[in-house]
Structure 1
């Protein structure tokens, strides 16, 4: 009975974590370039059970789990939809790759192309991080300069090529680490790779890849699973109460 309480309790903890992940996805459903997360659960350990009183060669009945746990929270890097904004500094990548930006913690990567011109004439993110090109921070000149960003990532200022966007790709994007503010950090030893076959769309932003309806369904299913595990804990607690107070009295 006590084992049953622990098994059901671990299920409640698993579903609580899964609910937190889904809630974060829903909170960022309108965040440009956001990549959704999925909580992946696993069994603690399954053990084989046999029919008793059948001698040394008692047949196997099957396996029984002893609890669950979240194995990992994986990020899904599927392309989100692209929508026009009319702002020439908004950029969207069609295909693989990430924009490289300079932060106080070092170079970070994002799919959120909601950029603007800073007071210093640089292309920056909404948090003020400088967007990087092949030659460093991208300079846009003074406010009167005519800026055009081509489909291949070239930044044209007054009809002269100023720089080219630093679009980074990685052999295994699953190793990238989320750091908040829609930024990813490369794992230790992970190197940038050149990208090919992509298009940079100026005046567009990429949607998040969160399907709100699917996430709401997952949220309801997780709540139901949590509720069932909670009732299992109550049932085992009731049985334990009877075993101690009633059976023990006899």
Structure 2
């Protein structure tokens, strides 16, 4: 009976984590380059249930087996889905998206990061930066555009200003995306970066979040139903325990 309480409680705690993850996904549905998170569960080892009061047939034979009993579930890990989001057209000549594999490389005071958020602009000194002010890195360092709006970026990431090539946007791929860690503002850190097999750069485009609103809403409903079911199980166990205690007092 006590095991049943632990099983239901672990289920409720797991659903709370799942609810927080889905809520965060929904909150970032309009965040450029955002990658949704998913929850992976792990079950406790199942317990073999036997009829302990049955008479053994012999000294070496086991008690009759009823079956197995699940001992609850916990959150194993929260993973990030790197599925590409929809590419949307933009009127900003500094907006860019990557069609296929790869990440833009940006740099700030905290270090170097990777991102799929290509919503770029120019700072006061004419450098290409993110909306948070992080420098967008090229093959030779920071990319300086100047004051011109006559900027063309081809599929390979070559940047031309007023007809003259000035830089090449640095795009890297990460073979093991599971090694990447979210650092906020659609930034990632960690992982072993490589230069090959990158996708094509699309100027005047941005990559939308890969969150599916309908799927997340269905997940939220499923989570609430599972949470309520575990809650009712705890209430049922509480009533049963109360009755057992009352019977024990009378005896």
Query: Are 2:12 and 1:12 aligned?
Result: yes
Query: How big is the alpha-carbon RMSD for the aligned residues of Structure 1 and Structure 2?
Result: 1.5
Partner of residue 156, structure 2: 152
Partner of residue 178, structure 2: 174
User: Aligned partners of 2:134 and 2:33: how far apart in 1?
Assistant: 16
In the alignment, structure 1 segments of 5+ residues that lack a partner are none
Aligned residues: 246
Partner of residue 134, structure 1: 139
Give matches, 1:164-243, under 5 Å: 164-186=168-190, 190-196=191-197, 198-243=199-244
Q: Runs of at least 4 residues of structure 1 off by over 3 A?
A: 57-62
Task: Check conservation: 2:22, 2:216, Cα contact below 8 A.
Answer: yes
TM-score norm. by structure 2 comes to 0.93
SS of the equivalent of 1:9 reads helix
User: Aligned partners of 1:220 and 1:182: how far apart in 2?
Assistant: 27
TM-score norm. by structure 1 comes to 0.94
User: Aligned partners of 1:51 and 1:168: how far apart in 2?
Assistant: 60
1:100-137 deviation line (CA, Å, top 9, x unaligned): 00022210011010000111100101100000011111
User: Aligned partners of 1:43 and 1:182: how far apart in 2?
Assistant: 31
User: Aligned partners of 1:249 and 1:59: how far apart in 2?
Assistant: 32
Task: Check conservation: 2:103, 2:173, Cα contact below 8 A.
Answer: yes
Partner of residue 113, structure 1: 118
Query: Are 2:63 and 1:62 aligned?
Result: no
Partner of residue 50, structure 1: 50
User: Aligned partners of 2:185 and 2:212: how far apart in 1?
Assistant: 20
- Range moving further from structure 2, 107-116 or 2-11: 2-11
Task: Check conservation: 1:96, 1:195, Cα contact below 8 A.
Answer: no
User: Aligned partners of 2:64 and 2:168: how far apart in 1?
Assistant: 69
Query: Are 2:28 and 1:28 aligned?
Result: yes
